[in-house]
Amino acid sequence: MEETSERKRWYLQENRDLIWDIDDFQKKHMALEFVLKFECRLCVYSPGLSQLYGTYTINVTGVRSETLVVLPEIYGTEKFIGVNEESIKPTGIYIHPGWLFNLDYNHMMTIPIKHRGRFMRSRPIPLAQGFAMVNNQLRRSQFLPVLVNGSLREYRRTAPFLHLYRVDLEALNRSRFHKEQIREIIGKKLTNILPINNNDAAELYEVNNNDKR
């Protein structure tokens, strides 16, 4: 147990990307509750070590609960090394709590859309619809969302939200086998985020995978 704790401490010292500062947040407890809903449901990327983690815990620390620590399962099977930073791209796509818009959904998504030559933010839409729209926009690729340090943000000091990044498999310097592994793991995780009272989540990623092979 002591050796494991030492390994974790060393790991965090070498991987500062996994220490998220939320000291400027007005609603720190709300931010923690919000991001915990996506724990292990969205992969986390560390550019410092070029690693992508699928299994991890999010822990709060600090006198004022001003720091979140993402602690990966070091020997987990959902850990990918050698993930080059160029393959992780910001999207401008946000996930918000549904109550922010007085809507009866747990979470809503807003997407940057081009209108009359400039980008604007879409109206809030349910996650399943949002993911489908983004996949249609990407066409030949697939939307594989991940989190990075800085993804957790606060809207006007009243509500937390997440800025999604994505894995661009075409820019990823890994073998086809490893690319497929990453695609499958992220796709499976999304079925735990999207509503599954029907088969929308599974069908969304199964259909897109078949179309883009």
pLDDT in tens, 88-116: 999 999 999 999 999 999 999 999 988 77
The reply to whether 66 and 111 lie within a common domain is: no
Task: Read off the pLDDT of each residue in 12-26 and give the average, rounded to a whole number.
Answer: 88
Same domain as 94, residue 75: no
Other Cβ atoms within 10 Å of 75 Cβ, number:
9
Q: What is the pLDDT of residue 196?
A: 42
**Within this chain, do residues 95 and 173 fall inside the same structural domain, yes or no?**
yes
H/E element, 201: helix 200-211
Residues 199, 122, single domain; the answer is: yes
Predicted pLDDT at 70: 94
**Token pair recorded at residue 196:** 């599954």
Alpha carbon of 132 to those of 85, 111, 203: distances in Å? 25, 12, 10
Residue 40 sits in the same domain as residue 121: no
The pLDDT score that the predictor gives to residue 169 is 96
Q: Is the pLDDT of residue 208 over 80?
A: no
Whole-number Å distance between alpha carbons of 137 and 111:
11
Pick the last residue of a domain from 48, 80, 112.
80
Q: Which domain holds residue 152?
A: 87-211
- Average pLDDT taken over every residue of the chain: 86
Q: Are residues 104 and 181 in the same domain?
A: yes
Q: Tell whether the torsion through CA atoms of 132, 137, 142 and 146 is positive or negative.
A: negative
Measured from the Cβ of residue 140, the count of other Cβ atoms closer than 10 Å reads: 7
Both 99 and 188 in a single domain? yes
Structure tokens at 50: 């070029």
Torsions phi, psi for 93 (to 5 deg):
-95, 130
Instruction: Give per-residue pLDDT as tens, 34-78.
Output: 999 999 999 999 999 999 999 999 999 887 888 999 999 878 889
Same domain assignment for residues 50 and 147: no
Instruction: Report pLDDT for 199.
Output: 42
How many domains does the structure of the chain reveal? 2
pLDDT tier, 1 (very low <50, low <70, confident <90, very high otherwise): very low
Q: Are residues 92 and 197 in the same domain?
A: yes
The reply to whether 105 and 201 lie within a common domain is yes
Locate 172 and state its tokens.
Answer: 């990823």
Residues 6+ apart with CB under 8 A from 186: 43, 54, 144, 145, 146, 167
Q: Are residues 32 and 133 in the same domain?
A: no
Q: How many CB atoms within 10 Å of residue 102? A: 6
